[in-house]
Structure 1
Amino acid sequence: MESYEGGTATPFIVHWPNGLKDRENSINRSLAHIMDLMPTLMEVSGAEFPEEINGVKPNPLEGKSMMPLFKGESTSIHDTLYWEHQGGKAIRTNEWKMSALPGKEWELFWINKDFTETKNLADQYPEQVEELNIVWNKWAVKLGINHPQK
């Protein structure tokens, strides 16, 4: 059995004396992703996302600003996270995480109780696998990923 949490359970340290005065030396265990950096930096800087880059319309940003987390206004900015990298796939939503290596079947983990992903529950919860598979495939089609998971 593989473990997939490496790289997705990475600490993120923010040092911003002027922006985090009320939250100094605090720990926030909220779920965020590297894709949230650009929207966060754009909000902080007042920058706007370009409509066109060298004549090409860029894909919309998938991330969200982390400012609500930094300000303590929210404990979550994502309901669901999706990713695909070199044919490997994953979806994380609420307490479930489902992952698959290229050419392999989905593995399902109850991430709140099994953070290190040691118990594949796909056979015990086939309806959850099917539901998350449908959601992941819709996301993949939206982004033009050409190898939906079965």
Structure 2
Amino acid sequence: MHKCVVQGQVLYTDDHCPPGAEASTVAHASAPSRPSTITLYLCKATDGGLFWTRQHCHQRSALVDRTVTVPADRSFDEQVAWARARRAELAVPVTSNPAPVFQEQRDTRAAWNKASRCKYLNERVAVLDSEARQPLSALRQDRIRVEKKEARDEQFRLRC
């Protein structure tokens, strides 16, 4: 990529600059990397059934029941399993004697190595921060706060 200054006017081109122009080479910006997380939608069909999809539920004439951010580098089946586990975790009421925090209850999580899990958690917190800056309902803001706290707690447990 070349930056050409011709009579005070700046021109960017991938070809050579015109004669008499001040020319300088500009480095190409690296191509954007694939996102490491994506959103899965749990949709409620008109007949009341639930299904997971990567597309927004509206595109399938359904209503959004829940959204879950999952690792993008996994197969759809693994993403759905992860999302179901996450949904089940959030649905479990807190008891007076919670399970020890160091106990991993999901084998899908145990399969991830610490470095990739820490990377995922960092990106998850960034996504939640970005989402929290949007104008959302109080209920959704509270859910984001809880999800962010859980991600931060896990980062602490893993010593990321």
Larger radius of gyration: 2
In the superposition, the TM-score normalised over structure 1's length comes to 0.27
Q: Greater strand percent: which structure? A: 2
In the superposition, the TM-score normalised over structure 2's length comes to 0.26
Q: Greater helix percent: which structure? A: 2
Larger relative contact order (CA 8 Å, sep ≥ 6): 1
